[in-house]
Amino acid sequence: MSFWKEKSVLVTGATGLVGSWLVHRLLEEGAHVTALVLDRDPASQLLRSGDIERISIVNGNLNNYQDVSRAVFTNDCSIVIHLGAQTIVGTALFDPLTTFESNIKGSWNLLEAVRQSKGLVEAVVVASSDKAYGESEILPYTEEQALHGDGPYDVSKSCTDLLAQSYGNTYDLPITIARCGNIYGGGDLNWSRIVPGTISDLLADRQPVLRSDGTFVRDYVHVDDVVSGYLRLAEVTHNRNINGEAYNFSRDEPLSVMDLYRHICQATLGKYIDPKVLNTAKSEIKDQHLNSAKAKKSLGWSSQVSLESGLVRTVEWYKEYLAGVKVG
């Protein structure tokens, strides 16, 4: 029997890229899912797939403690996966206050509600990011490295991460942290990101745009791998005493933005198209990539989706989406 069968699970950020596919997997595994939802974006994969009709919705805002507490207690949720956040670096640079409120205040509201649940919640996984590590000359990042975000988005993820560690360690709560590389896959409608933006431009016969100079180095991991990582981490958090522990999730195969762009061109058109290189990226870390050996050793997790196959699947999703076809 699946670990998730009949489990009551709260997911924040359920309308986002990872959240939509995570909810879908949880439903497939037989879980009862509750989602804290602020806005019902009709373009979200959660709505397009029809999965929103199969879960319990609590309307509310992460910034409101009463809303968050209500979400935890409504269906006696025993597992919480906290994905809700403002996830765009550029938006954080332009509007840091909103980002801090969403990412930091939203997280302490969630963690405090878990503390007040008095043992009802048996496992919490908090989404951090590779951005939490900040700029570093030591790469790849390992979980032992200190967190020192600099730009507003990076700081918001460092704070979220540290809050989760604090609550887990201080109050002996079953809380763990996931730090992922750059996540891509069908359902990401933030067109400023390189994968959806480039695919959209190529399919529309527009010249794609690179915001950076193309030399920035990143990890890219498919959303299916990330969902598997979250689910596995939640299972282990439930069954072992690993309070406050963090785990990196990546393919351990860093590549430059320009190299990724070439792969996207190949997956979309089968040929290379010269991009327009703006070189205007601000408040972004130049090089960052992760070492996920700890997740492999302790959780038995490893990436199962190659970059090539992941991009082909992603391109197919956008072809259907942009053609106005319901994507299931």
pLDDT, position 262: 98
CATH number, domain containing residue 89: 3.40.50.720
Strand order in the sheet with 56-59: 56-59, 32-37, 8-12, 79-82, 123-127, 175-180, 246-249
DSSP annotation of 278 reads -
Structure tokens at 128: 């951090």
Residue 55 is assigned to a structural domain of this protein = yes
Domain of residue 106: give its range.
8-184+220-252+287-304
Residue 36 is assigned to a structural domain of this protein = yes
176 close to 244: Cβ distance less than 8 angstroms: yes
Number of domains observed in the structure of the chain = 1
Q: How far apart are CA 32 and CA 6, in angstroms?
A: 6
Maximum separation of any 2 CA atoms in the chain, in Å: 57
pLDDT, position 325: 53
120: Cα within 13 Å, side-chain hemisphere: 20
Cβ-in-10-Å burial (0-12, 13-18, 19+) of 28 comes to exposed
Residue 280 is assigned to a structural domain of this protein = no
Q: How far apart are CA 263 and CA 257, in angstroms?
A: 10
Backbone angles phi, psi at 221, to 5 degrees: -130, 135
* Residues that are catalytic: 153
Residue 115 is assigned to a structural domain of this protein = yes
Bridge partners (DSSP) listed for residue 124:
80, 175
User: Which residues make Cβ contacts (< 8 Å) with residue 19, sequence separation at least 6?
Assistant: 11, 12, 13, 35, 46, 83, 84
Residue 268 is assigned to a structural domain of this protein = no
Pairing of the two strands 255-256 and 217-218: antiparallel
User: Which residues make Cβ contacts (< 8 Å) with residue 270, sequence separation at least 6?
Assistant: none
Q: What is the DSSP string of 88-147?
A: -HHHHHH-HHHHHIIIIIHHHHHHHHHHHTTT---EEEEE--GGGG-S-SS-SB-TTSPP
What residue type is 201 in one-letter code?
D
Per-residue confidence of the chain (328 residues) as pLDDT tens digits? 789 999 999 999 999 999 999 999 999 999 999 999 998 888 899 999 999 999 999 999 999 999 999 999 989 999 999 999 999 888 999 999 999 999 999 999 999 999 999 999 999 999 999 999 999 999 999 999 999 999 999 999 999 999 999 999 999 999 999 999 999 999 999 999 999 999 999 999 999 999 999 999 999 999 999 999 999 999 999 999 999 999 999 999 999 999 999 999 999 999 999 999 998 877 788 999 999 999 999 999 999 999 999 999 999 999 999 998 544 4
Residue 194 is assigned to a structural domain of this protein = no
Q: Which of 40, 38, 30, 28 is nearest to 8 (CA)?
A: 30
Residue 195 is assigned to a structural domain of this protein = no
Range list of β-strands (E), the chain: 8-12, 32-37, 56-59, 79-82, 123-127, 175-180, 182-184, 209-210, 217-218, 220-222, 246-249, 255-256, 276-277
Residue 138 is assigned to a structural domain of this protein = yes
For residue 37, give Cα distances in angstroms to 11, 52, 56.
Answer: 9, 10, 10
Structure tokens at 84: 């809700």
